[in-house]
Amino acid sequence: MSKRNWIVFVLVLIVSLFYGMDPQSYAAETKEHAFIPRCETVDDETEKKIESILEILQAEDYEKLTDRVNELLASTELLEEEKNILEVAFCLEEVAEDSHLTGKVNSYLSLLVYGIQKKEEEDIQFEEVIFIPDEKMMNLQIEGTLQDKDEKVFIDHYYSQNAGSTYRNLELHLMEERLKELERKSSLLLTITSGLASSAQAVLQNPIEKFMAIVDSIFTEKAEDEQDLFEEKAVIHASFFNMRFALIREEISNWDQVNMVEYYPGNATYFMIERANQVHEELPDYWYPKEEIEQGDWNGIVTYYEKYRDAMAEYDYELYEYIISDGFHNSSNFEELIERVKDEHNEE
């Protein structure tokens, strides 16, 4: 696993532990199931289409997957149709109860999102699309190589379960990595020392090359810093709103990278939406992303709550905490909470 993936995974674990248990455990301990919007639209024909896609993903037939994606890239409409079908795949029991299959579905959805955005700019085809699972670290990566281009797209899907035990094992992994890094640096120091004279001569002979190497290093480091910041924000938002997520990175060059993130619901996400709807029914003017919820726009839901969460907390912190985490501070139940809020804000 790359250094960047290590950093993102560490953040996933730390924030998950900080904000509480993982979504699947939380779901099991609070309710047997949550109402899933749009599931009522899944008819027999839609289910058959979902099953045909699942068959490819489960068989890990990457050649067939690559051909399928390339056929869809013929038009934005085909990509959108496939995306709409997969967005309700979670309604199928075999997907909802299999976190690894859910990860594959969400990762493929992210690839479709990338394809839709890329199609607006230019026509592309993939030379190869492969899935690289890393079940120990609970990360699934898609690597796509574009035809006739020196460009690749990487999609890292993160989903958390058994976070506590994984975190305990993480310390051992980090220690091993630190030892490897110390060994590498020691070896590098010996190499630099022994070759100091010849390196100095090379610098004098090739000042332009040295300058370009420095420039490349500076811009590469800047691009990496920007990506790290982007990924840190994605991890925090996903953990805060009880969502799974996928990071999409188009690698054009060391300097030029395009970063995107796609958020996906877990059971705990639907429970949060249920509580938001419950509050909305009692307080119609309270903040509620109605359109985004109806459309299943999870990125839009994250953006909405990120924009208004300070105002929500200022209005009434306990009400805000109830929506986000199902917690009470002073009230013993929802009815008591709503009655207090209405009294304090003169709501009918």
**DSSP of 143-195:** EEEETTSS-EEEEEEE--SSHHHHHHHHHHHHHHHHHHHHHHHHHHHHHHHHT
- Measured CA to CA, the distance from residue 154 to residue 75 in angstroms comes to 22
Residue 69 lies in a domain: yes
Residues listed for the chain: 348
Q: How many whole angstroms separate alpha carbon 338 and alpha carbon 325?
A: 16
Domain co-membership, 242 together with 338:
no
- Using pLDDT thresholds of 50, 70 and 90, give the confidence band for residue 346: confident
| Same structural domain, 173 and 294 | no
Output 186 or 159, whichever has higher pLDDT: 159
* Same domain for 340 and 208: no
Are residues 143 and 291 both part of a single domain?
no
| Predicted local distance difference test score (pLDDT) of residue 66 | 93
Summarize pLDDT for 226-248 with one digit per residue, the tens: 777 777 777 777 777 777 788 88
Q: Is the pLDDT confidence value at 73 over 90?
A: yes
CA angle, corner 69, sides to 294 and 100, nearest 5? 65
Is residue 45 domain-resident?
A: yes
Cross-strand pairs, 261 = 247
Tell me, yes or no, whether 293 and 221 share the same domain.
no
Domain assignment of residue 271, yes or no: no
Measured distance CA(62)–CA(130) in Å, rounded: 6
Same domain? 179 vs 303: no
φ, ψ for residue 24 (rounded to 5)? Answer: -70, -40
- Give the number of other CB atoms < 10 A from CB of residue 141: 20
Confidence grade of residue 253 (pLDDT, cut at 50, 70, 90): low
27 or 161, which is more confident?
A: 161
Amino acid at 85: I
Do 153 and 64 lie in a common domain? Answer: yes
Domain extent, residue 331, equals 283-344
The verdict on residue 270 lying in a domain is: no
Q: Are residues 246 and 290 in the same domain?
A: no
pLDDT of residue 230: 77
The two three-digit tokens of residue 46, written as one number? 């839609």
Average pLDDT over residues 266-276: 85
Which of the listed residues 202, 231, 264 is the one where a domain comes to its end? 264
Instruction: Give Dmax (Cα) for the chain.
Output: 83
Is residue 307 one of the residues assigned to a domain? yes
Task: Say whether pLDDT at 28 is over 50.
Answer: no
Answer with the residue of higher pLDDT: 233 or 288: 288
Q: Are residues 253 and 292 in the same domain?
A: no
Q: What is the domain count for the chain?
A: 2
Residue 71 has a pLDDT of: 94
Give the strands of the sheet with 243-251, arranged side by side: 126-134, 139-146, 152-158, 243-251, 257-265
Task: Among 23-32, 33-42, 108-117, name the one with the lowest average pLDDT.
Answer: 23-32
Query: Which of 264, 291, 313 marks a domain boundary?
Result: 264
Segment of 10-14, 20-24, 125-129, 245-249 carrying the highest mean pLDDT: 125-129
Is residue 19 over pLDDT 80? Answer: no
Rg (CA), the chain: 24
What's the pLDDT score for residue 11?
A: 47
Same domain for 59 and 138, yes or no, is: yes
Q: Which residue has the higher pLDDT, 328 or 63?
A: 63
State the average pLDDT over residues 99-120.
88
- pLDDT higher than 90, residue 69: yes
Same structural domain for residues 257 and 108? yes
Average per-residue pLDDT for the chain: 75
Domain boundary pick from 206, 234, 264: 264
The reply to whether 253 falls in a domain is: yes
The verdict on residue 247 lying in a domain is: yes
Same domain, 232 and 170: yes
Residue 136 lies in a domain: yes
pLDDT above 90 (res 98): no
